[in-house]
Amino acid sequence: MKTISNLRLTLIFALLCLGSIVAKAVELNSANRDAAYVTTIVQRSEKIVDNLNLNDKQTYDEVTKILANRYFELNDIYSKRDQKIADAKASLEGEAREAAISAAKAEADGTLYRTHFAFPTALSLYLNNEQIDEIKNGMTFNVLNVTYIAQLDMIPSLTDEEKAQLYAWLVEAREFAMDAESAKKKHETFGKYKGRINNYLSKRGYDLTKEREEWAKRVKARGDSL
């Protein structure tokens, strides 16, 4: 019994050590990349991670590298897609060209989907769920929170059910926006979901034009601006 117990303890200790080693084995994927581009991405990542106020420098560095690597990965996916599209336009015509373009886009979408969940999984070695959400918000300009707070301020009479639905859609929008190829595309992603929210609220009986007018009056009265 003692031997079995000792073996269990040894195994547990080994697994803990292995987990620690794996968690520290993050390498910045900067090889064969333009140095100025790498610097820009690392600085962008640091700016987002700074909001977490992490006390441990190693955790800060590892999280920053994970985030920067995701930006590199996204850039690689879209660059590959764009090159294939350019090649198709240059060498093909008609239906063959359109098929090649569609295939390039589908391949990129598939790669985005396959890699999407690996990113928060990697972060989870160092961060809790709330901190991971902060990383996601940083990548998407905090549009989720800004939009949600604005909706609640504009329509104070929203029910708990309606608030939950709005928030769920904005979280979904954030998941897609995280992988968008540019700031413009990120905002466009949220824009689509804002349209869905507006349609939902209209069907629930809200006069959105009137709600916005009354909201503007309240904002002005308290000395703020929209």
Residues 108 and 159 occupy one common structural domain: no
In a domain, 147, yes or no: yes
Those residues whose C-beta lies under 8 Å from the C-beta of residue 72, and which sit 6 or more positions away, are 29, 30, 33, 41
Note the pLDDT tens digit of each residue in 77-100: 999 999 999 999 999 999 999 999
Domain C-terminal end among 74, 106, 127: 127
User: Quick one: pLDDT at residue 226?
Assistant: 79
Give burial (CB, 10 Å; 0-12/13-18/19+) of 67. Answer: buried
Would the pTM of this model clear 0.95, i.e. be above it?
no
Residues 147 and 123 occupy one common structural domain: no
In a domain, 135, yes or no: no
Residues 120 and 51 occupy one common structural domain: yes
What domain range includes position 107?
2-127
Give the number of domains in the chain.
2
Domain C-terminal end among 79, 97, 127: 127
Residues 187 and 118 occupy one common structural domain: no
Tokens 């955790």 belong to residue:
59
Domain C-terminal end among 127, 161, 190: 127
Residues 59 and 149 occupy one common structural domain: no
The C-alpha atoms of residue 217 and residue 223 are separated, in whole angstroms, by 10
The C-alpha atoms of residue 154 and residue 219 are separated, in whole angstroms, by 9
The C-alpha atoms of residue 160 and residue 131 are separated, in whole angstroms, by 25
Share of the chain above pLDDT 70, in %: 89
User: Quick one: pLDDT at residue 157?
Assistant: 97
Note the pLDDT tens digit of each residue in 129-183: 999 999 999 999 999 999 999 999 999 999 999 999 999 999 999 999 999 999 9
User: Quick one: pLDDT at residue 18?
Assistant: 45
Tokens 């949600």 belong to residue:
148
Residues 83 and 168 occupy one common structural domain: no
Residues 77 and 21 occupy one common structural domain: yes
Q: At what angle do helices 183-203 and 208-221 cross, to 10 degrees?
A: 110
